[in-house]
Chain A
Amino acid sequence: MTGFFREVARRVFAQELKDSNLTSRDESDQYAPQYVLTPTGAKVNRIFLVGTLIEKEDIGTDSEYWRGRVSDPTGSFLVYAGQYQPEAAQFLADCELPAFVAVVGKTSTYTTDDGNVLTSIRPESIQQVDGLARDLWVLDTSKQTLERIRAVEAEEDPDSKLAKEHYSTDTDYYRAMIKKALESLKEGE
């Protein structure tokens, strides 16, 4: 299976994903994966997140097409599941709100008329989990985001450099985001 590798599921907070507007794709190959480069230099194709499903709505016209909103300590992700994600769509149809959910999926971007890039997630899997899984994810994502912030500051690798160039990343802003996320773990102690 040379040439095949599985895309790593990146850990990015909702706020950072929302701030992302740089997409890249090898234009010569229509099957090349599409990536979203985030302000801290995460090159995201697949994403793993755990959060709270707070809204769901069937926005389909002919067939069911579910939109779910999953919140984390920094914002929320939009998850869309239709006939091509039958398991995820089924989950959204059946589950009760609110619920802790773990989502594995691919990012997909949409550019609005006024040039805004909206990033949503096409889930490969949605599973209901417990609060511990959510906390573990927040800690994990904080740690990985902080590592990326350090890499951006040091301009360690091409992705970090590109992120800094494109976004003029304000690393303090993202440090504050992480702090907010981590503090949410201390509440209720």
Chain B
Amino acid sequence: MVSFLRSNTFTPLSSGLYHVALYFGTPLYTIKTTKRLEVERMKQTAESIRDRFLKLGIDVPLEDIESRLDELITKFKVPSNEAQRSVTNYFLKKYSIPKNEFYVRQAEPQLTKIVNISEDGQWANLKAKVAQLWENTHESISQVGLLGDETGIIKFTEWKNAELPKLEQGESYLFKSVVVGEYNSRFQVQINKNSSVEKLDEPIEVGGGDFTPTAREAELRNIADLVGGQWATVRGKVVQLWENSHESIEQAGLLGDQTGVIKFTNWASSELPDMEEGKSYMLKNVVVNEWDGKAQIQLNRSSSIEELDEDIEVRTSTFTYFGAMVDIQTGSGLIKRCPECKRALAKGACAEHGKVKGEYDLRIKAVLDSGSSTQDALINRELTEELTGLSLDTAIAMAADALDPGVVLDKLKHELVGRYYTISGHKLDRYILVDSITPRTSLDRELLEEMLTELEVE
């Protein structure tokens, strides 16, 4: 921004008796007392406008401000507050300062303690320590984490367009003009392009202890006890690794211990080593959050992975279900997936990435029914191919011949519906992610004899 030196020289005035009066120090005899008061008020207004511009690093000559004010107030009978606004806007335009930037700064946020943050939309200045930096998943966010002072901690989000230098974990800063937002009935602060950050030499004490991960190790918990919104340390066995191709995810899958199984995501930015299926690990300082009512864990930069020598026993992580396949649902057969996130496309578009050139895949969303319950099952390509002898390539060819991918679904229904199967796999929501499916190939003669005997006897 250009800064101007205050002009010391007397500049010829474009208009106004008052200026003459002012600059010569003595009011003209023609000016009445009321006029003199007006002059005083206008002078104050001019000073205040000048001060505000000075804060932005711009020195607007006082005379310029005064002459404009005078013209509006005296000549055009504009109310003084209107005149003040009009003159301010004129100089904003002249020096190319966005209006919103200028007016936001007028709010003059107060220095606030975290505990006193109480209003959505409130502007605040905070002296706080960066207690934690989190993984940030959104491209428009520059940094996200926790700020702490002696009264509490609060989540912060720094937007990319704030164009501020990177905050360092453990360092304390004076944050000016941050905005308070409310999300999920919790307050958080947003650092935006109107905010400024100054590093403080003196560290701010964070109430409730040191939140830096090195100093703080989350409590060891059973997988079944994990709930959203906490940090935890878990010991478990990787029971399943999922195919994942999203570049921001290093690994995803299921982790199990004696109490249950949970989905985990290891973000690429965590820079943690890969885990192997079937091996047991201690995962320290993972974040537990909830999605769709289900807890899941995320490994981030603050987390650590230690391989364990023992083999952790996983409680009934595999479900087995026997029943007749009574339905194969839409979305089965030959489908297209988003090359980015592997989600199935709907009408050629991905919910996340829009219109994409999909990749073919084969899968079955089946409903099995035992006569007293039903079970949804997801059968992946490998198992679908094995079960039906229909390869992905053949399926693609079939669909191309018929000009309709629906023929693949029909074929699957024809082959599978109405037959009895035993499936097993891990349970996720209402689905069993099938890792084995066996058709019943013979009649249980023993059961038959047993029942006949019972019926004879009675």
Name A residues whose Cβ lies closer than 8 Å to a Cβ of B: 6, 8-11, 46, 48, 50, 101-104, 124-125, 127-129, 132-133, 135-137, 139-140, 142-144, 146, 172, 175, 178-179, 182-183, 185-186
Contacts and interface: CB of A to CB of B under 8 A. Distances in A.
Nearest to B415: A127
B443 A129 contact: no
B272 interface: no
Nearest to A141: B371
Interface string B412-427: 0110011110000000
A54 to B, nearest CB: 17
Interface string B373-394: 1100000000000000000000
Contacts of B373: 8
Contact of B371 (A104, A140, A175, A185): A140
A189 to B, nearest CB: 9
B374 A8 contact: yes
A124 B455 contact: no
A11 to B, nearest CB: 4
A124 B327 contact: yes
Given A8-B374, A9-B369, A102 B417 contact: yes
Contacts of B403: none
Given A127-B417, A127-B418, A11 B371 contact: yes
A185 B444 CA distance: 11
Contacts of A142: 451
B326 A48 contact: yes
Given A127-B413, A178-B451, A179-B455, 18 more contacts: A8-B372, A8-B373, A9-B371, A9-B374, A48-B418, A102-B418, A104-B326, A125-B326, A125-B413, A127-B414, A129-B419, A132-B443, A133-B420, A143-B451, A144-B371, A146-B455, A175-B458, A179-B456
A125 to B, nearest CB: 6
A139 B371 contact: no
Nearest to A101: B418
Nearest to B444: A139
B287 to A, nearest CB: 27
B37 interface: no
Given A9-B326, A132-B441, A182 B452 contact: yes
Q: How large is the interface on B (under 10, 10 to 19, 20 to 34, 35 or more residues)?
A: 20 to 34
Contacts of B367: 6
Contacts of B324: 9, 48, 102, 137, 140
Give the 5 A-B CB pairs with smallest separation, nearest first: A102-B418, A179-B455, A11-B371, A9-B369, A104-B326
Contact of B417 (A125, A179, A182): A125
A146 B441 contact: no
A135 B418 contact: no
A128 B414 contact: yes
Given A127-B414, A142-B451, A185-B448, A48 B420 contact: no
B355 interface: no
Contacts of B444: 139
A108 to B, nearest CB: 18
Contact of A136 (B370, B443, B454): B443
Given A104-B418, A125-B327, A178-B455, A48 B448 contact: no
A172 B456 CA distance: 11
A8 B440 contact: no
B447 A139 contact: yes
A51 B198 CA distance: 80
Contacts of B370: 8
14 contacts: A8-B373, A9-B324, A10-B371, A102-B419, A127-B414, A127-B417, A127-B418, A129-B418, A133-B418, A139-B444, A143-B447, A144-B371, A146-B451, A185-B448
B226 to A, nearest CB: 23
A175 B455 contact: yes
A8 B413 CA distance: 19
Contacts of A133: 418-420
Question: Which of A136, A142, A178 has its CB near the most chain B CB atoms (within 10 A)?
Answer: A136
Contacts of B447: 139, 143
A136 B420 contact: yes
Contacts of A172: 458
A164 to B, nearest CB: 17
A130 B414 CA distance: 12
Contacts of A9: 324, 326, 369, 371, 374
A8 B376 CA distance: 12
Contacts of A143: 447, 451
Q: Looking at B326, B417, B455, B458, which has the most chain A CB atoms within 10 Å of its CB?
A: B326
Contacts of A175: 455, 458
A140 B418 contact: no
B419 A182 contact: no
Interface in B60-77: none
A35 to B, nearest CB: 15
B100 to A, nearest CB: 44
B326 A136 contact: no
Contacts of A103: 418
Given A132-B441, A185-B443, A104 B455 contact: no
Contacts of A104: 326-327, 417-418
Contacts of A132: 441-443
A133 to B, nearest CB: 5
Nearest to B326: A104
B414 A179 contact: no
Interface string B424-443: 00000000000000001111
A127 B204 CA distance: 72
A140 to B, nearest CB: 7
A74 to B, nearest CB: 14
A140 B448 CA distance: 10
A129 to B, nearest CB: 5
